[in-house]
Structure formats: C-alpha cells, structure tokens
Amino acid sequence: MKKHKLQYWILGADELWTILAMALAFVLRFGLTWQDSIGNSAVIYLPPLLGSLALWAVLFSPMQLDGFSKGWHPSAILSQLFLAICFLMMALFAGGYIARIFMSRLVFAYFGILLFTGFVSIRYIVRAVLGSKYLIKAVRRVLIVGNGPVAREIAAKIDRHPELLCQVIGFLCSADTSASDVPRAMNGSAIIQTLGVVDLLQEQKVDEVIIALSKPGTPEVMNLAQSCRQAGIGVSVVPHPYELYLSKPQLLDIGGLPILQLRQVDLDPVHAVWKRGLDIALGSFLLVLSAPFIIFGAVMLSQKEGGPFCREPRCGRAGNLFRMWRLNSDRDAQQLPSSEIILQQLSITELPQLWNVLLGDMSLVGPRPESPERVKHYSDWQRQRLNVKPGMTGLAQVHGLRQQHSSEEKARFDLQYMLRPSPFQDVVLLLQTMWTLTGRLLHLRTLAPGKRMPSHNNDPDKLFERNLPSAHSAQPSAD
C-alpha cells in the first residue's frame, strides 16, 4: 500500500468518526432528542463540527497524525493524538466563547474523549489489517546486503513501518564475515552468509535487495545488483555517508543521471526564542511540581558520601563544559537498595537537571549530554550533536537508548530530531517520556529489595533495544 494512500484512508476514517463522535456526544448528554436542555436545536452543534473537520484536515499532514509516518511507536501515537486533540478542543472552546453561543461543555468533553478513543482505535485497526493473513501475499520479502549499523537500522525501521508491507528475511554478507559481526535477523529470519548467488535469493523468494554497504560500488556488489535486476529482483541502495542525516536530500534526475542534492539545515532564529521560552515556562512549572520528589530523594541519600547531590562534568552546546546536577546515586552499581532502584527507575535522580534548564546549560528536549571523555572520541558526524543544547530527554531516550549505548547509535536519533525541530515535537517527546516513566512505575512491583538493577535487555520499556542491536562504535573506549 502506498504511504500517501494510507494517509488519505486514515484521514477519511478520522473525519467520518468525527461526525459520528459529535452525534454520540450529543446523545450521551441529552438522549435521543433533537433539542438540548434549554430548547436549542442540535443544529447549533453543526458549526463546531464543521470547524473540527476542517481543523483536523489542516493539522493532519504537518503533525503527521496518521501514526505511521514516523514508524509504529504506540507511545508516540498516543502523545501526538492527545496533543492534537487538546489543541482542537481549545480551538472549539475559544470559538464558542468568541461567538457567544451557549453549548454544553459536557457535550464537548464527551466529544474529545470519543475522538481520542476512536482515532487511536482506527490506527490500531489499520495496524491489525496490515498484519493480517489476508495481506500476507502482498508483503515483499526483503534481503539487506550489509552487516553494519546502517543495515541494522534499516531492518528496525522496516519492522516499525508495517504500511510498507515489507518483511526482512535476513542479511547478506561476505563469506569471511565472522559470526559476531553478523546482525541478528529480525523475527527469527535466517541469516545468509554468501554473496553473488542469485539462485539462492530466488530459492528464498526474495523480492527486493537493499544494499547498505559503506562501499556499494565494488565489483562484487555491482555484479550482484546487475544479476538481481536480470532475475527480476528489485535493488535499492542506501546513500552514504552518515552526514546525510543533517541535510534535507532531494533526488534529481538529470538526463537519466540520479543526483542526490543535499540542502543544509539552518536553524530558524525564531526556533531558539520559542524553545528558550518553553524551557523557562515549563521548566519552572516542572521544578515546582517535582520539588517534593527531589527533597524526598535528597533525604533518602543524605547519608551518601559527598552528600545527596552531585555535579558531573558534561559537554553542552559547542562543546562548552558545564556541571550537570543529579542526585548522588551510582548508575553503574551492581547492588542497590530498593529505595535507590526506585529513584533511578523513575528518573528522580535526574530531576535536579531542571535547574540546569533554567540556567540555560540544558534544554528540556535535546541530545543527552555526555562526558568530556566521550566527546573527545566523537567523529565529525557525531559532533553535530553539539550544535544544539543538550536535553533532559530526547528522541534517543524515548526509543530506549541509555548511557550504556554507543554514541553512534544515539547520534542517529538525535540528528533526526535536529533535522525537524518544532514545539509540537518537543511536547510530544515530553509526553512520551511521561509514558515511559508510567510504564516503569507499573513494573516496579517486580523488583525485590536489594535486587540488582534490571539490565536493558530485560526491561519491558526498552523493546526497541532488542530490535536494534548495539552498533559497532567507532570509539569503543569512550562507550
């Protein structure tokens, strides 16, 4: 199914559900009647309904509300829809107030709840249909040529984009590749360790080959691509190098010659203004809200050597050094009391960084700051993370990447975030972080007193890490 067609279908389903939701909201409030409690006709709710249909159509594409554009990620879908519906409801209330038309607030409350429930259900129904046995014959079997981090990321992204109707059946690599270098195949698919055997690809019923090598122009790879095309197997190539992540590529066709045009992304000056405003306003509110938790954690850690707080050196924007506040609990300790486990699992130990946000050293959302020792080993590509202020949370964190992961893995997500900055994206990531913390809170009951901190491989909130194995870092000493 073409991606844009899927978006149109989901938008159409949303609009139909919006009409039905308004009707159901009126019935839930007033029953099966054409008049409300003060004698107004139900027609009075037609203008807000039309406004809702128009506004949702306007918001749908820019905010990527279809649920699939950024990959199937439930917490992101819930956060995006919740924020967009909140904006829609505020617009309706503001419009009603300006027009001086009396309408039941309870009707709008029912309407908002029904919208959220229905929109989420629509996306899950589409997800179920895409994975149903009725479409199994439409799924293209894909083989990835390569065994590096790019190959792994492609496999993970295909797995998170069910609308592509593709299944990664394995990885193709050279015969001399060691078993430890071969990425795990997803969903139990087989790993093929041979190169140039098109008969084997046909035997495996491969529909498409994706070349994800740092040097795709070698004679062996060119021969493989040519043989696949002659055998009717599709061939796709991932452009390199990684530096493409901080540019907006556009494919040009000049007389049959494909050219990938890279456009440098320049941060809008307005971006810095609204982001700093959001940091100060929301950061101040969150600091007041979290003060009891910080005080509680400080009391619990008051007997620790060095006191309840610690200041760790970190590299901020442009590599400038600053001291990052946190509660004094060792992340790497093998044995911790249950109280410290709770503090770390709920990220209460990181809440003092709200003070860094207000000081301007950090932002609420952005790449997580790393130590000078790690930054010293950055490649030029990874140093692009330092073009913006570090954040308390970011795209890499909501996908389950933590301190123990390589800087290369985190850089791929952080640079994607930097490519399209927006207030909407920042708030969505904050909501996703709250979703993650809620999930951790629900699983705290499984931790016994004195038990070791669970590894990231067993943490139910880090499902993505099991789908995306650790990349081969270019600076292992730093990780």
Using one digit for the tens of pLDDT, what is the confidence trace for 31-40? Answer: 888 877 666 7
Cis peptide before 241 (omega within 30 of 0): yes
Q: What is the DSSP string of 185-250?
A: PGGG---B--SS-HHHHHHTT--EEEE--S-TTSHHHHHHHHHHHHTT-EEEE----GGGGGEEEE
Structure-block tokens of residue 92: 């309706």
From 466, 465, 467, 398, select the one nearest 438 (Cα to Cα).
Answer: 398
Beta-strand pair 321-327/309-315: antiparallel
Residues of CATH 3.40.50.720 domain(s) within the chain? 139-240
Structure-block tokens of residue 308: 């309840």
Q: What confidence tens digit (pLDDT) does each residue in 378-435 have?
A: 988 889 899 999 999 999 888 888 777 788 888 888 988 888 888 889 999 999 998 8
Predicted pLDDT at 304:
87
Predicted pLDDT at 257:
81
Residue labelled with tokens 């990835």: 144
pLDDT value at 368 more than 80: yes
User: Which amino acid, 164?
Assistant: L
CA pair distance 433, 439, nearest whole angstrom: 10
Give the model's confidence band at 244: pLDDT under 50 very low, under 70 low, under 90 confident, else very high.
low
Q: What confidence tens digit (pLDDT) does each residue in 160-187 have?
A: 888 888 989 888 876 555 444 545 444 4
Q: In whole angstroms, what separates CA 10 from the centre of its chain?
A: 20
CATH H-level superfamily of 139-240:
NAD(P)-binding Rossmann-like Domain (3.40.50.720)
Q: How many residues does the chain have?
A: 479
Count Cα neighbours of 121 within 13 Å in the Cβ-side half-sphere. Answer: 9
